[in-house]
Amino acid sequence: MTGMTGMGHPIWIAVPTFRRPQQLRHLLETLPGIVAGHDVMLLIADNDPAGQEGAVVVEALRGAGYDLPVTLLPVPEPGLCAVRNAIVATALGDPAMRFLAMIDDDEWPQPGWLDALLACQAAVDADVVAGPVDSMFVGPAPRWARETLVFRAEERPHGATDMLWASNNLLIRRAALEMLDRPWFDPRFNRSGGEDLDYLSRLARAGARFGWAPDARVSEWVPPERARLSWVFKRMWRIGCTETMARCKDTAMPVLLVRSVGIVALRTAGLPAILLPGAHRVDIAGQWIKSWGRLYALAGGAQKAYGAL
């Protein structure tokens, strides 16, 4: 760990990063104006021991008089779970830490983000609070990409909610982090993704209370290579795989198999709807592909969608 500027901060904002220096810089340049008035510590977990591009960005901003305290955390072990577990362990090392916020390195918060997360947490006494993620396309994008579920922000009413799905816009209070033993994020998801769904599912089973803050919005860059059918369909396949991997922990295999076969049959029967005028064709096809990803996971298949992040 390098660059620790002191302990004693009630709010830690963690950013796992891997070879996205320009996006990370944009995020870090945005944060001071968004979190003004709060006692925060930024934790930048760089998962690229070779290039250390995240570290370069942090040191450059420090040299220019960056306004917020920053802890730079090199994480040499590759993988999503390795970096998230290092984040949790480091934040818990500060006895004053009460809340850990997580945001990805290709995102940036919109005005009122942190205030909205904290207000929702206080209103419903939530252990974990999440908010929407708005896709921001880099360059022109086809209409289908702007309309597909993969890139549409999730919308829910403010307040308590039954379940949360992702960690890229999340606030967790210390008591929730202490509900589960380490490793908080299961290393079996290290290269597949879905580690956040698995973690949140285990928190739910442990009795954690969840909240949704619709005004706690972040924006996420969508590069041109993601606004392609091949990328969207691969993502839907992976979601089917990782959701099933997570559910295997609390649902009997025969039950999951029957459900998954039923979903494949249902999605297959619904495929002709693609031909209807105004149909969301990409979503219909994507859900069908996702249903086959479920069966692939049950058959023992594994997804390795990432290098390190």
- Per-residue pLDDT of 113-126, as tens digits, reads 999 999 999 999 99
Mean residue pLDDT of the chain comes to: 93
Nearest C-alpha neighbor of 38 from the set 72, 1, 67, 5: 67
pLDDT of residue 59: 96
What backbone torsions phi and psi does residue 68 show, to the nearest 5 degrees? -115, 150
Sequence-distant (≥ 6) Cβ neighbours of residue 140 within 8 angstroms = none
Which tens digits make up the pLDDT trace of 40-89?
999 999 999 999 999 999 999 999 999 999 999 999 999 999 999 999 99
Given this model, what pLDDT does residue 2 score?
57
| 305 pLDDT higher than 50 | no
Among 3.40.190.10, 3.90.550.10, 2.60.40.10, 3.40.50.10540, name the CATH number for the domain at 11-225. 3.90.550.10
Query: What residue segments make up the domains of the chain, in order of their start?
Result: 11-225, 229-298
What integer pLDDT is reported at residue 306 of this predicted model? 44
4-46 per-position pLDDT tens digit: 446 789 999 999 999 999 999 999 999 999 999 999 999 999 9
Phi-psi region of 212 (alpha: psi -120 to 50; beta: other; left: phi over 0): beta
pTM greater than 0.85: yes
CA distance 292 to 298: 10
Give the whole-angstrom CA distance, residue 269 versus residue 251: 26
What are the phi and psi torsion angles at 100 (to 5°)? -120, 115
